[in-house]
Amino acid sequence: MKSPIAENSNLSLQSAMAFALAMVIGTFAPGAFAEPLPEGYVQAPVSGVVVKDPFGLCWRTGYWTPAMATKECDPELLPKPEPAPVAVVPPAPAPAPMAPKPVEEKVKLSAETLFAFDKSTLRSEGKEKLDDLVSKLQAINVETIIDIGYTDRIGSKTYNLKLSQRRAEAVKAYLVSKGIPANRILAEGKGKADPVTKPGECKGPISRKLIKCLQPDRRVEIDVVGTRTQ
Extents of the domains making up the chain: 4-75, 102-228
Q: What is the pLDDT of residue 70?
A: 86
Q: Averaged over 145-161, what is the pLDDT?
A: 95
- pLDDT bin (cut points 50, 70, 90) of residue 32 is very low
Render 47-109 in DSSP notation, one character per residue. T-PBPB-TTSPBPBPTT--GGG--TTT-GGGSPPPPPPPPP-PPPPPPPPPPPPPEEEEEEEE
Q: What is the pLDDT of residue 230?
A: 59
Segment 7-31, tens digit of pLDDT: 444 444 454 454 454 444 444 444 4
Helix (H, G, I), strand (E, B) or coil at 37: coil
Identify the CATH class of 102-228. Answer: alpha beta
Q: What is the pLDDT of residue 6?
A: 41
Segment 52-82, tens digit of pLDDT: 887 888 888 888 888 888 888 888 888 888 8
Dihedral of the CA atoms 189, 192, 193, 197 (nearest 10)? 130
Pairwise CA distance, residues 145 & 106, whole Å: 10
